[in-house]
Amino acid sequence: MNTGMVGAIAPSSRYLAAEMIRGLDLQHAKAVLEYGPGSGVFTDAILPRLGKDTKYLPIELNEEMVAAFKKRHPNVPLVHDSVENARKICDDHGIDQVDYIICGLPWASFPEALQVRILEGVTKVLKPGGTLVTFGYHVGTLMPAGKRFARLLPRYFSSMSRTPVIWRNIPPAFVLRGTR
């Protein structure tokens, strides 16, 4: 995986963050993973909604984003690793299955093999009935990798939904929810 890969030209907006967590019962979740938290914009929305017993693990590979996250959230333990290792990371932290994966990865920037490896890994940690919440940029739907990702999702999830475009994000984005 390219450790320098960042898919955004600007940090995600609070409008996108709000849509990412809308409808999630984080208060009663046993475990939540955040893939690619970057500087921690989604984390800001997640943390106040977690239950006192919910295990929360953000996983970030990019060195610069690790530093930015730690600056913004100095008291939140961050796993500096690839999400491809999520099963081992969960095992190391005593997590059997997770209720939610909130994902900020730049799917439309990834080659197919990486998309598949990450999605295969999602199925190894996400409980049946659990939800992957991710987003894409409106412009990414025109890119071959974005189209390919959209075609891959039904292989891994029993149901998928997509929000309308969130125009108050730069660039405009939409949220995808996949239920295992």
Per the domain annotation, does 18 fall within a domain? yes
Q: Per-residue pLDDT averaged across 51-67, rounded? A: 96
pLDDT of residue 1: 39
* Three-state SS at 51: coil
**Is residue 3 predicted with pLDDT exceeding 60?**
no
**146 assigned to some structural domain:** yes
Average confidence (pLDDT) over 23-36: 98
Domain that holds residue 127: 14-179
| Domain at 175, CATH number | 3.40.50.150
Query: HSE-up of 96 (CA within 13 Å, CB side)?
Result: 3
- Domain count for the chain, please give it: 1
Burial class (CB in 10 A: 0-12, 13-18, 19+), 159: exposed
Q: What is the pLDDT of residue 28?
A: 98
